[in-house]
Amino acid sequence: MAQAVKGLTLGDLNAQEGSHHELLRLRLALGWTILFAALVGLFAVSWDIQWHSAVGRDRTLTAPHLFILGSIVALGIPALIAVLVETRWAKRSSAIAKSGTPFAGFFSSSMGAYLVGYGALCSAIAFPVDQYWHTLYGIDVSLWAPFHIMALAGLSASCLGVVYIFISSATLATHDGAKGSARAGYIGAIIACAVLLGVFSIILEPSLEKSLFLGNLTFSVHPLMLGAFGMFTLVIATRVLPWRLAATSVALVYIFFGLVNYVLIPQLMTLLVGIEQQTYLPRAPHVAVLSVTWLYSLIIAAVLLDVVTGIAQRRAWSLRRASRATIVIALVGTVLAVLCSPLFLSIARLHTNFILFLAVSLLLGVLGGYVGTWLGTGIGESIRREA
């Protein structure tokens, strides 16, 4: 006799559980594939920046460019597979359809898969257009060039998308009581947040040396961007991960990536310069450029955010009170992260009116931290909701 639970037969429930299990496996497998591709993309961009600074942008298909292109393909294809397979499954199973987000009246997949695919497409389009931009303006155009930003924004969207995928996988796994898969999802989300922070660090790199002028006032946008990007990512981590050390874990993995950059990139440069029989440009940097500008001091903000999140949970603060406390701590964390950045301070000291420069820049940092926290809270909630 079929047992009925809330209108569903046991057979229905078993079928639902089975389809959830398949969906979980698909999302985890593709999520880790995409994460690996994003990680390769992060280090390939770092290698490429080093190649441009030390050798010059020579050929189109240098090894770093090949790795970047490979990572874009490896981001896009699993995302496409995820969308197509889940759409097909959703047409056969209402349980899977409920776990997906419909798109354009035809597709059904996780929000993350759409974001990853969209990001990969943007980065892929940016590559040849950037090539054209270089033919017009030379090989050493700034990192803040239109199609570099397009490519990096695409990579950022992909990293954010993979966070969605992992959190949705972890939620499915928790529903199914699959603790190991849930842990794999959450660990993936931590690494994905760290990769996202890494991509943001690449976007931030030129901000260290750029000063803006408003009349007699000179200031830097570095604290503004550090606050916005840093808090955005760390607050997402505190919102979507059920662990007390969510933001700290992300910051630690991110710092590890900075150290890998420091060790790996010079080795790759030596190897490739030897293979290609290239010569270094005069004044070529021999230390990995990005490992120097990496935002190590964000660990302070991460620890503070985790502490306040932990206190809010233990004392069962209201949502409003917890949000206010998070904002205040994020702003303090931003200011401390800026003040503990020796590179930024050494550049700031070069300005005649150091105190005024620092004060205005920090004020902008507070603004950036506020915006980052606000957006991070909203997107964090969205990721949880979509899961």
Partner 1 sequence: MSGTGSLVQKFLLALGVVALIFLLVEIGATLAATLHGSTPARVDHVTAGPYHFTVSLYDDPARAGFTLPFAIAPQGATGGSWTYQVTSMPLGTPNKRNGTILVDGKRSATPIKDSVSPDSQVPGGVQGTAEITVAGHWALQVVVDGPSGQQTFMVPVTATTLPAIPGWLGWFIGFIPVYIIAVFVFMQMRRKEQRAKNVVQVG
Which residues sit at the interface with partner 1, rule CB under 8 A? 55-60, 102-105, 115, 117-119, 121-122, 124-126, 128-129, 131-140, 145-150, 153-154, 156-157, 276-278, 281-283, 375, 378-379, 381-382, 385
Could you tell me the smallest distance in angstroms from the CB atom of residue 156 to partner 1?
8
**What's the closest the beta carbon of residue 379 comes to partner 1, in angstroms?**
6
Q: At its nearest, how many Å lie between partner 1 and the CB of residue 284?
A: 8
- Sign (positive/negative) of CA torsion 93, 99, 100, 106? positive
- What's the closest the beta carbon of residue 334 comes to partner 1, in angstroms? 20
Give whichever of 136 and 350 is closer to partner 1, judged by the CB atom: 136
Q: Rank residues 108 and 249 by Cβ distance to partner 1 and give the closer one.
A: 108
Q: How far is the CB of 149 from partner 1 (least distance, A)?
A: 5
For residue 173, the minimal CB distance to partner 1 (Å) is 23
Nearer to partner 1, 149 or 260 (CB): 149
| 281/359 with CB nearer partner 1 | 281
Of 91 and 183, CB closest to partner 1: 91
Residue closer to partner 1 (CB basis): 215 or 282:
282
